[in-house]
Amino acid sequence: MRFASCTAALMAGGVLLASVAAAPAQGQGGEQKPPEPAQGEQKPPEPAQGDQKAADQATAAQAQAKDMEEYREAAAKLPISAGAAECVWTGRRIASLLWRDDIDTARRYIDLYDRFGCSSEHLKLVFRCVIRQGPLDPKAADRLASRVHGCWVSPDEPTTASSQAATGSTIKGGTIPN
């Protein structure tokens, strides 16, 4: 009888040990590495993930260069209180948020904008310029960004038909832009 209880305890311990040893193998997702090719064989080509990564990095670098050029342009044309990079960055976001009726978020950015000592008068002029150019397609975020930057750099320039055509806006008599 004693032998039977020891055997049962050993069997339970063995099952427990086997389940603990199998758990890490299952935690790896059950995926196995493909076998390495023999010395004379060639590896199959890898998917073009490297090409996609390089293209993404090139696009990001172009966008960053464009942003840096816009900051330099604003710094050259505007006084320091409106042309500083932190003022341009925050102010353009505020104007975009106001255009999209996100007043609460715009108010938080305005606190930051004021803390940087940026020109609140310039922000008013920019938003006025954006509004005067008329409605935009709500799905065209890049057009809004372009319009806001154009107004940031020169908010006093009159609105022309060519600038409206470039931004894709249309003027409807007697309506309020959405």
Per-residue pLDDT in tens (0 to 9) along the chain, 178 residues: 555 665 566 566 555 555 555 555 555 555 555 556 556 556 555 555 667 777 777 777 877 787 778 888 888 888 888 888 899 999 999 999 999 999 999 999 999 999 999 989 999 999 999 999 988 887 777 888 889 989 998 888 765 443 444 444 444 444 444 4
Q: How far apart are CA 147 and CA 169, in angstroms?
A: 10
Predicted TM-score (pTM) of the model is 0.56
Q: Which of 95, 93, 90, 92 has its CA nearest to residue 113? A: 90
